[in-house]
Structure 1
Amino acid sequence: MQAAQPQVPEELYTELLDVIGSAEADRYLIRLILAAREGRGCLPLHLGLDEAVFEALIYRCFSEIQRWLILHTRVPAAVIERSETRNELLSLRQDEQQELTALLEQYRNPEVDPVLSVIIATGCLGGDHLWRDLGFDNRDWLSEMMAVAYPELKAKNSKDMKWKRFLYKQLCETGGHYVCRAPSCEECATYADCFGPEV
């Protein structure tokens, strides 16, 4: 008979979120890791990272006891199944993920771990607002993270365009394959889709 795996109490998750490493962006990385394990958002369990890179991230962000609790807490079967499906979809869209990662890397604060660019690019492949696909509770978390990790890119999004659409628009403008047909945002029939409230 298999021993039951421990459940991480809610208070511990809150405690873990209060852990901030040497870089402020670690707070967001911690939230992304925990959200995926809770089944929130569209990220696979390894966040779109190579397994060894993901393990290194866990070791950097958490203490020994926290790592043990995270890695040994039972992940619901539905979350594992969805993660496997997401990994399959990711393998079919690797070029797109790499283009988005390269775009983000151009603007990344050098003090921020480059894995964040890969994680955000992976989240862009989901079908909802980026903040939801990353597993955040609200858009403010995403906006704050972008300001910390990609300050120049955040400044460039001066009209507060929805982040996923904004990133694809940047790819379009730099000669990527994701072409927006509107001559300008102001003349676009779907303006509200890009700039409307994210609910």
Structure 2
Amino acid sequence: MYPAEADTSSDSNFDRHALASILAAATMDGGSVPEKAGVSGHELSVLLEQYFPAIEIKAEKQLLNVKCNEDEEVAMVSDLLLRQRSTEGNVGRWLAAMIARRAIEANHLWEDLGLRDRGELSRLLTRHFAPLAARNINNMRWKRFFYRMLCEDDGLVMCTTPVCAQCNDFNVCFGTESGESRVAGHPRDFLRQASGEVLDDRPI
């Protein structure tokens, strides 16, 4: 099922779609899928088993012990999200780690998560990180909003003016986020490739 055709009417289907999209985007970047997705080899194995049981997973023991190297910037965004989780279970924790890792990539965050548009990212954040999402009352770009929240939580000021409309960076924070899904037409292939990294002996 392609992203444009995915049935996301229910929360569970939407979560599955979001996870598949993130893993597909991480796979497209090349290299280690767990590292690009922000999870360990063991977490990837558990995620695939829980949300995509049709994919056979026979992970080597050494791969299950591989941990994802997390830099300070990723850890800060992940902690911000974790502090304001609104759902229980593994999925919120996985998403916090994955969103934080993908946020350091160069494109719009929704693009680097493999989602279809910004609206899907807003839905994902509202569902799993509702208190944080509710603070974005001016519809700031999500990546920019995360860093603004980090600065405010530390008592710092990121903005050059207290009035957004008068700021030279207004379009950086609030500009349109149009574009096409990076994984349109390929989610199943990339998801199988992501699972293959758990299956075979390629380095993670």
How many angstroms does 1:25 deviate by?
A: 2.9
Structure 2 partner of 1:190: 169
| Paired-residue identity, % | 29
Counterpart pick for 2:77 among 77, 100, 104 = 100
Structure 2 partner of 1:160: 139
Residue by residue over 1:103-128, the C-alpha shift from the partner in whole angstroms, topping out at 9 and shown as x without a partner, is: 00111113243110000000111112
Output the amino acid matched with 2:55: Q
Q: Give me the whole-angstrom Cα distance separating, in 2, the residues matched to 1:43 and 1:158.
A: 37
Listed as ranges, the gaps of 5+ residues in structure 2 are 60-67, 179-204
Q: Give me the whole-angstrom Cα distance separating, in 2, the residues matched to 1:193 and 1:176.
A: 22
Secondary structure of the residue aligned to 1:103 is helix
Matched, 1:61 2:39: no
TM-score normalised to structure 2 length: 0.67
How many angstroms does 1:131 deviate by?
A: 0.7
Q: Give me the whole-angstrom Cα distance separating, in 2, the residues matched to 1:17 and 1:58.
A: 18
Listed as ranges, the gaps of 5+ residues in structure 1 are 1-10, 72-89
Secondary structure of the residue aligned to 1:109 is coil
Q: Give me the whole-angstrom Cα distance separating, in 2, the residues matched to 1:43 and 1:166.
A: 29
Matched, 1:28 2:18: yes
Residue by residue over 1:28-73, the C-alpha shift from the partner in whole angstroms, topping out at 9 and shown as x without a partner, is: 2232223333x17x9952211111111111111112x3346xx9xx
Counterpart pick for 1:52 among 42, 46, 55 = 42
Greater relative contact order (CA < 8 Å, ≥ 6 in sequence): 2
Q: Give me the whole-angstrom Cα distance separating, in 1, the residues matched to 2:31 and 2:132.
A: 22
Q: Where do 1:55-134 residues align within 5 Å?
A: 55-63=45-53, 65-67=54-56, 91=69, 94-111=71-88, 112-134=91-113
Residue by residue over 1:118-144, the C-alpha shift from the partner in whole angstroms, topping out at 9 and shown as x without a partner, is: 000001111121111112121111111
TM-score normalised to structure 1 length: 0.69
Give the alignment's Cα RMSD to 1 decimal: 3.1
Secondary structure of the residue aligned to 1:25 is helix
Secondary structure of the residue aligned to 1:169 is helix
Residue by residue over 1:180-199, the C-alpha shift from the partner in whole angstroms, topping out at 9 and shown as x without a partner, is: 14142344211111011112
Secondary structure of the residue aligned to 1:140 is helix
